[in-house]
Amino acid sequence: MFPRHLTGPLRQALADTPVVLLQGGRQVGKSTLARSLAGHGGPARYVTLDDLTVLGAARSDPAGFVAGFDGPAVIDEVQRAPDLLLAIKAAVDRDRRPGRFLLTGSANVLLLPRIAESLAGRMEILTLAPLTQGEIHGRREGFLDAAYKDPAPRLRGGPEDRDGIIARLLRGGFPEAVGRRAVRRRAAWFAAYLDTVLGRDVRELSRIEDLTALPRLAGLLAARAAGLLNLSDIARGLATPASTLKRYFALLERTFLVQSLPAWSGNLGRRLVKAPKLLFGDTGLLAHLLGVTEERVRREPGVLGPLLENFVANELRRHAGWSHTRVEAFHFRSHTGPEVDLVLEDAAGRLVGIEVKASATVEARDFSGLRVLVHERPRQFHRGMVLHLGREVVPFGERLHAVPLRALWEWGAHVVPGA
């Protein structure tokens, strides 16, 4: 079992909240983590709604199903029986002891209002993503905390070569895929994963039978990863009505296959109307959809850039779930053209800008977007960096540095006990 950095926040939630929902994509490790932590007041009973008999009971008599638990319970894949949440709500209104129900779900309930509203004020929601690089190697990353320190800590440790970085991107973070060393076996796992999510989970969420366009849509979206999300343009490419495509995209979001990175603007109102960037929830799955292999990267170096940007955005968003420094992630594009791949904003409004470069060489022009951000928000701007594939931290001006990519998992990291 890989050590999960969300363990601490999950324990805290179970200690003071009647219902905790651990959501995330299929096969990210939700069930394993839930079963290891549930039942602090005694052994928890575990049931999964992937079992058709259990699912039938939960759907036919939700109140009776919930009444059958006389102690703490783990209910897996709760999105398969949405009416169960109303019964859980009634149960916790009668008995609000913390940690009564630990639920897991492979659909994002924040995008399913009827489910999210059922337990408002009674349920805490935590999201488990695929493994971070630190979790894979038993280390807790400190990048976000380090990025906001003054001065930033020195980067220690040896360099990692380009092939090592590429291997991380293609492996991704699903525990089962990480454990498969053979490239063909990992590819088979990714193919089966997509079949399950697109063929069953999405159909259950949508109640739409004809979803034959979804595999092609996933491929088109993969080709646009780390770019601006323009659903109207994609709809034309698929010869599908824009309204239909929006529903399909929402389904892919609900199952954590894709996600969007909002635009940053000093004007809060403008953030909602600016185009977001498109990201995939796992870079290994993205590489599989694109047919990217180590050999292809050597032949076509240009395919590495979007994968690397997607990878960095995923890692930092995962760090934000448990780091001491709480941040939100955005992208930035100025009206004159220069852009910044990632903008992190902490609770005090301080900004850290990050550019991602799939090269070991960094030049002054690589900081053009960061300098625009400095000009627009000089008081909020805390630090800017270009993450690159080289070895050294190099200053490029006040509060601007080129930083090796390995800082993501080495900056401020420490070994997790027992890992």
pLDDT tens string, the chain, 419 residues long: the values are 799 999 999 999 999 999 999 999 999 999 999 988 875 555 789 999 999 999 999 999 999 999 999 889 999 999 889 889 889 999 999 999 999 999 999 988 766 666 666 777 789 999 999 999 999 999 999 999 999 998 777 776 566 788 999 999 999 999 999 999 999 999 999 999 999 998 888 887 776 666 778 888 999 999 999 999 999 999 888 888 888 889 889 999 999 999 999 999 877 666 555 889 999 999 999 999 999 999 999 999 999 999 999 999 999 999 998 899 999 999 998 877 889 999 999 999 999 999 999 999 999 999 999 999 999 899 999 999 999 998 888 999 999 999 999 999 998 887 776 55
**Which amino acid, residue 117?**
E
Closest-CA residue to 37 (of 110, 102, 104, 109): 102
Counted domains in the chain:
2
Residue 110's pLDDT is 66
Assigned domain for 2 exists: no
Peptide bond into 151 cis (omega under 30): yes
Residues 91 and 105 occupy one common structural domain: yes
Element (H, E) at 355: strand 351-356
Residues 13 and 31 occupy one common structural domain: yes
Residue 107's pLDDT is 85
193 close to 27: Cβ distance less than 8 angstroms? yes
Distances (CA, A) of 239 to 35, 81, 203, 228, 229: 45, 34, 21, 20, 17
- Residue position matching structure tokens 């960095």: 312
Whole-number Å distance between alpha carbons of 156 and 296: 31
Residues 185 and 143 occupy one common structural domain: yes
Whole-number Å distance between alpha carbons of 10 and 48: 19
Assigned domain for 66 exists: yes
Domain at 97, CATH number: 3.40.50.300
Closest-CA residue to 360 (of 294, 316, 301, 416): 301
Whole-number Å distance between alpha carbons of 93 and 252: 33
Whole-number Å distance between alpha carbons of 407 and 405: 5
Residue 90's pLDDT is 92
Assigned domain for 82 exists: yes
Closest-CA residue to 263 (of 375, 318, 341): 341
Residues 408 and 295 occupy one common structural domain: yes
- Residue position matching structure tokens 């089966």: 192
317 close to 127: Cβ distance less than 8 angstroms? no
Residues 266 and 340 occupy one common structural domain: yes
Assigned domain for 355 exists: yes
End-to-end CA distance of the chain: 9
Residues 120 and 224 occupy one common structural domain: no
Which residue among 74, 96, 127 closes a domain? Answer: 127
Residue 271's pLDDT is 58
* Cross-strand bridge partners of residue 375: none
Which residue among 105, 127, 149 closes a domain? Answer: 127
Which residue among 64, 99, 127 closes a domain? Answer: 127
3-state secondary structure of 152: coil
Residue 257's pLDDT is 96
Q: Is 83 exposed, middle or buried, given 0-12, 13-18 or 19+ CB atoms closer than 10 A?
A: middle
Residues 328 and 195 occupy one common structural domain: yes
Whole-number Å distance between alpha carbons of 26 and 198: 12
What tokens does 69 get?
A: 């638990």
Residues 258 and 155 occupy one common structural domain: yes
User: Strand 73-76 and strand 45-48: pairing?
Assistant: parallel
Whole-number Å distance between alpha carbons of 348 and 377: 14
HSE of 253 in the Cβ direction (CA atoms, 13 Å)? 16
Residue 266's pLDDT is 74
Q: Which domain holds residue 304?
A: 133-415
Assigned domain for 310 exists: yes
Assigned domain for 23 exists: yes
As a whole number of angstroms, the longest Cα–Cα distance in the chain is 66
Residues 26 and 49 occupy one common structural domain: yes
Assigned domain for 16 exists: yes
Whole-number Å distance between alpha carbons of 44 and 22: 16
What tokens does 384 get?
A: 């800017």
Closest-CA residue to 175 (of 186, 162, 163): 186
Residues 178 and 110 occupy one common structural domain: no
Assigned domain for 1 exists: no
Residues 299 and 350 occupy one common structural domain: yes
Residues 115 and 183 occupy one common structural domain: no
